[in-house]
Amino acid sequence: MRLGTVDGRASLLGGSGSADVARASGGRFGPDPLSVFEQWDRFRDWASDRDPETGARPDPARLGPPVPAPRQVFAIGLNYKAHAAEAGYDTTGIPQVFTKFPSCLAGPVGTVRAQSPRLDWEVELVVAVGRRAESVAEERGWDHVAGLTVGQDLSARDVQLAGAAPQWSLGKSFPGFGPTGPWLVDPADLDDPDDLAIECSVNGEVMQQARTSQLIWSVPQLIARLSSVCPLLPGDLIFTGTPAGVGNRREPPKYLQPGDRLVSRIGGIGELVTDVVAP
Ligand code: ZN
């Protein structure tokens, strides 16, 4: 099952077609995307019998973020060993947690304004929560996941690292700094949801390439850690961290410029296409 939004409405998406959830369910689910997560188990049962191939395939420009207005967005820093090493940090201890404020979320195909001379890319696996999670054990972590999607944790490095103590969240939350999509994929539909190919390229040149099995803190470990403090709510997002190859750690550093095309991909899920435009 692939769940996304078309013109802001919850929609099932197939290889060649789509189905509007509210219309296909006679109003039982949707069209508000967040409402679907509130009754995730019932929705999943219903959706498993649907054929999304019957409707027309939407223009990709009509796809929005799979969860446009989550109540909480968690993001994890330094969650791949090679990226932590390039950034000059030790990886022992606990996960580094910050937020991307939800107003930064954007759809899978679109533009982002170059709001910073140090605009950088970070492709990430993003988790959407399906069932409320409170002090969940690692063994039950996957039970609380509705779906996986592709995300970009776009970052204005100058803003992120400004101040005596860095303020990661603000520098990662300009409008458009959180493209997600193209849809959520049910982890049960993936051969191994703990081992997905992840990469991003700028103007066709591969910048990051890794596998999600290289995450230091796995998806179930993150659900356990985060839910030990904050209840995780249906529809919440978790950006799970980026692999090595970000621009500000290159020699010389490389940043996104107007005219650049950023493509972010995860095997078994899909891709994001983000064009950088003038501020
Ligand atoms: Zn990140």
Taking the centre of ligand 1 as the mean of its atom positions, its distance from the CA of residue 50, in whole angstroms, is 35
Residues of the chain with pLDDT > 90: what percent?
A: 88
pLDDT confidence of residue 43: 97
- Find the mean pLDDT for residues 147-168: 95
pLDDT confidence of residue 259: 98
CATH class of 65-277: alpha beta
- Helix, strand or coil, per DSSP, at residue 186: coil
- Find the mean pLDDT for residues 79-83: 93
Taking the centre of ligand 1 as the mean of its atom positions, its distance from the CA of residue 232, in whole angstroms, is 19
- Find the mean pLDDT for residues 107-133: 97
- Find the mean pLDDT for residues 200-209: 98
pLDDT confidence of residue 272: 98
Residue spans per domain, the chain: 2-58, 65-277
Taking the centre of ligand 1 as the mean of its atom positions, its distance from the CA of residue 239, in whole angstroms, is 7
Taking the centre of ligand 1 as the mean of its atom positions, its distance from the CA of residue 37, in whole angstroms, is 24
- Find the mean pLDDT for residues 26-36: 97
Check whether 52 has a pLDDT greater than 80: no
Check whether 167 has a pLDDT greater than 90: no
Q: Are 271 and 264 in contact (CB under 8 A)?
A: yes
Check whether 92 has a pLDDT greater than 80: no
Mean pLDDT of the chain: 95
- Please report which confidence band the pLDDT of residue 216 belongs to, taking 50, 70 and 90 as the band edges: very high
Instruction: Kindly report the pTM of this predicted structure.
Output: 0.97
